[in-house]
Structure 1
């Protein structure tokens, strides 16, 4: 049975610093560049089975960071359940989704012995710090978040109501960027691998860290953005938009659980165009460009140069041949993690053990931060 670990309090600064030394990370100053050891943090929402875009973007990037990390680097990857509550959720479905997302992270190669893998909602330090940060964050900064309108559109789609306006949305949708900042700053993260669409939120986290440091004293490093080498994967049915778990069209995305037959059917039905030959032109030929991006990512040819080189190989070929090659590449890439996921999703006891251990390790780290935060703001 899972028992949420209690708060851990340290009676001396020496003991607090021992936690960081024992876990291989030295105390940090306010500049992320001042420490050779990195603290890497990122998170993913538990809203459905991961799709190909998640896999080629965040999840593969996380496993590569784990492989390349120095032994003194700390790696924390969270399933951010509290963020999922900004939109309506079925409680029973969310419970399953949390567990299955953990299984997916393990299936793609994250090692719970090397990385701290945990449920964000099992560490109350996140919400404690978020409230403190809410009290120093100007509303004007939140009003300038460009993702606010995007989240409004998501809410409208979820309710099938184009008349939803900002005044009807819950406060969590407005303030969740502060919780995201707290997710990062609770561990004094120095590097944050997130997608291009989250860069503004990371800038806000840096701004909030700066406000806190100036208001009280330097405590938080300013976290750096870590780019994902793979370009954004678009919807197979609407290549002008990104592949999304929230799309009502199941054929628009390839899921980690899809069979080879389903993968083949979805790629065969992907929207392209009637122009002869294959070129990489995201603006005028988004469908073909998306398939080239997927093929390049699946075969290790990352970045703009990799996609451009891939396009040269297909300039005299047709969409049918491109789709066939993309199908083979995706099936090969997904075969092992899919098998691991199907095995792990049934290992409920093991998943609970991993989650419990991750929560203990995460809370041990964040308590060091929160002890200093409470003292600085006068809550001791």
Structure 2
């Protein structure tokens, strides 16, 4: 069998549940923007994933627009990247069902994120929450994506995507779906809570002071960093000196990511400095980098029709890639579809 050469293409998405945080920006959106021009880039607001748990319909629509506004305000260019919301491209759900029939129950049972989200209440959560990793695989493979920028906590889902692609190719004797590679690189891929450096920064944290929201204005950004939890010790001489100091390490990594430098370089500049020097410097840097994004998001959200237009145009472009791949998938599986149905 001849090995297929796949066009280098990036796919990734963000779920519109809760608000966007600094973690979304540094761990995802900033990286997405940076990949523009390096290869084809397809970015999505994964609203079908959001409804695996109950969502207020009006709020879901609003949050979908807010995620799109976050992408755009951070520098994503619709003329360079495809940007759309998942539910506008029906092929995601169609390929997701085919992959439900390829994936094995044992694979799903190993998904740690389901266990974390379901907790002790697994019998009462939706079937969608259990099966959503196969839809995530469909999101990726529907575009024959060769690369997916993810955090460490999502790496398992890319591994499942590769398992599904390999089983499909093997079962049908084809080399049709690529072995997608996770892209995990750069500082601050996992942004932690500003009040507890052992917990990931979350949209659903109890206190707003735990997180930086992408909609926060300059005053809020500065206040939150200046009040962020630290420890009594100054910054160390070496990066290893941050071991066992989760809050200190988190703030250093945030500074590094915002300033496009390594954590080692930050330590080199601030070694021996107390928090009275470092936290104001971090606050000033964060305001410089983040407040223009918040301002632009506010401007975009004031014109929802324009966001909807951009998402609709992006969906048209997405379907141009997705529909032929879905058509060929149907043909490989033996499902009859007329040519005019794609």
TM-score by length of 2: 0.93
Q: Which residues of 2 match residues 134-153 of structure 1 at below 5 A?
A: 134-153=100-119
Displacement of 1:314 in angstroms is: 2.2
Q: Indicate the RMSD between aligned Cα atoms, in angstroms.
A: 1.6
1:124 to 1:195, Cα distance in 2 relative to 1, 3 A: same
Matched, 1:370 2:315: no
Contact 1:278 1:288 (C-alpha < 8 Å) held by counterparts: no
Matched, 1:357 2:326: no
Q: After TM superposition, what 4+ stretches of structure 1 lie above 2 angstroms from structure 2?
A: 275-283, 312-315
Q: Unaligned regions of 5+ residues in structure 1, if any?
A: 1-28, 154-163
Which residue matches 2:75?
109
How many residue pairs get aligned? The number is 331
1:277 to 1:110, Cα distance in 2 relative to 1, 3 A: closer
Which residue matches 2:22?
52
The counterpart of 1:326, out of the listed 262, 282, 293, is 282
Matched, 1:269 2:227: yes
- Distance (Å, rounded) in 2 between the aligned partners of 1:254 and 1:59: 15
Residues 219-253 of structure 1 deviation map (CA, whole Å, 9 limit, x = unaligned): 11111111241222111011101111121211111
Contact 1:30 1:222 (C-alpha < 8 Å) held by counterparts: no
Matched, 1:222 2:179: yes
Matched, 1:213 2:213: no
Displacement of 1:48 in angstroms is: 3.0
Contact 2:233 2:274 (C-alpha < 8 Å) held by counterparts: no
The counterpart of 2:244, out of the listed 263, 284, 309, is 284
Displacement of 1:299 in angstroms is: 1.2
Matched, 1:347 2:303: yes
Q: Unaligned regions of 5+ residues in structure 2, if any?
A: 337-342
- Distance (Å, rounded) in 2 between the aligned partners of 1:317 and 1:365: 52
Displacement of 1:283 in angstroms is: 4.4
Contact 1:278 1:319 (C-alpha < 8 Å) held by counterparts: no
- Distance (Å, rounded) in 2 between the aligned partners of 1:126 and 1:49: 24
Matched, 1:94 2:54: no
- Distance (Å, rounded) in 1 between the aligned partners of 2:242 and 2:139: 34
Q: Which residues of 2 match residues 111-190 of structure 1 at below 5 A?
A: 111-153=77-119, 164-190=120-146
SS at match of 1:165: helix
Q: Which residues of 2 match residues 232-311 of structure 1 at below 5 A?
A: 232-278=190-236, 280=239, 281=241, 283-301=243-261, 306-311=262-267
Displacement of 1:179 in angstroms is: 0.5
1:205 to 1:282, Cα distance in 2 relative to 1, 3 A: farther
Contact 1:296 1:310 (C-alpha < 8 Å) held by counterparts: yes
Contact 1:30 1:220 (C-alpha < 8 Å) held by counterparts: no
SS at match of 2:260: coil
TM-score by length of 1: 0.84
